[in-house]
Amino acid sequence: MSGDLPVDSDVVALTAALVDIESVSRAEQRIADAVERVLRAAPHLSVVRDGHTLVARTDLGRPERVVVAGHLDTVPINDNLPSRIVGDDLWGCGSCDMKGGVAVALRAAAGIADPVRDVTYVFYEAEEVEASANGLGRLARERPELLDGDFAILMEPSVAGVEAGCQGTIRIDLTTRGERAHSARSWMGVNAIHGLEPALRTLASYEPRRPVIDGLEYHEGLNAVAVSGGVAGNVVPDAATLTVNFRFAPDRTEDEALAHLREVFDGYEIAVTDSAPGAMPGLDRPAAADFVAAIGAEPRPKFGWTDVAQFTRLGIPAVNYGPGDPLLAHKQDEHVPLAHLRDVERALHGWLRGAPTA
């Protein structure tokens, strides 16, 4: 055992130990301290700590470098600690999202001293809260040299398969203006809520684009996600807002996505409330292609947003690969199959060692 985590035991025991350390976002010190002790005990790693984010690197002079990353924080506890094994699954807050993936990466960091590629391991804080607090994002903005690499693997739950890249997301408030009037004399005013009707018709008839990138078909989506407006039960409203979320394929930039929205909703007052870029899969890169071949499963496109986009901003292709079903993330019954933990560890560790795994 290294430090107070059973890193030399097996991936299931280590995942359980990590789950049992409460690490709700902004309270990651205890788990970061435990992970740091493991990393600093490995003589083949150089370790940097930035807040509660840790970067550990091999420096063997290999021609390629891969970045393996996972976040240490979880959503708030929901009567789902301590961890427990039920049948073939390990249950507990963070078991799926994403302490199982962290356990796989941490055992690789501690135990693989001579990988065929140089490796940078990143264990970071505050992924589950606003983007400004995200430890990986902070490194990308302030210390990007620590994330240099040819390819990145984010250990997000992906049903133990490869999900390449991710879609971008942009959220806008679309506002209509009117004129107040008493509802008994509505013809004296202009109803702003009624003014949303053309935009809603546009959304209902919108045909999303389905581009193919690196052989993967992405499926865009444009949806109303909220409506607000109204003054009182007897007043014609003078303002109404429709909130629209656009999930766009990674071949569009954020600026291109916004330009598309301005074209679709021409004439409307638009304000951007949230935006994040997508991530190109980059499966044509040698390291990425070799990784996919080693895993032996057909890659799938990632339809949600993940931190692989942080790597795209740095020009590094990235995939999601980790144990667990993302549909169970943040749920009270969150759990991860024991088989996923073992399969992902066998495949990733074998690839890092240069051994055939498929």
CA distance 222 to 206: 7
Q: How far is CA 332 from CA 12, 16, 94, 95, 99, in A?
A: 20, 16, 10, 11, 15
Catalytic hit among 28, 89, 127, 238? 127
CA distance 265 to 198: 9
Per-residue burial over 165-195, b if 16 or more Cβ lie within 10 Å, else e, is bbbbbbbbbbbbebebbeeeeeeebbbbbeb
Known catalytic residue: 251?
Answer: no
Phi and psi torsions of 31, nearest 5°: -70, -35
Phi and psi torsions of 193, nearest 5°: -65, -40
> How many CB atoms sit inside 10 A of residue 300's CB?
16
Contacts of 19 (CB under 8 A, 6+ apart): 81, 82, 83, 90, 92, 93, 94, 95, 99
Q: Read off the tokens for 354.
A: 């240069």
Q: Read off the tokens for 49.
A: 């700590």
Phi and psi torsions of 159, nearest 5°: 55, 35
Q: CA quadruple 289, 295, 296, 302: dihedral positive or negative? A: negative
Whether the upstream peptide bond of residue 277 has omega within 30° of 0, thus cis, is: no
Which amino acid, 182? H
Whether the upstream peptide bond of residue 155 has omega within 30° of 0, thus cis, is: no
Contacts of 281 (CB under 8 A, 6+ apart): 164, 165, 213, 214, 216, 250, 288, 299, 301, 317, 319
Known catalytic residue: 127?
Answer: yes
CA distance 82 to 253: 42
Catalytic hit among 28, 73, 118, 150? 73
**Which residues are designated catalytic?**
73, 127
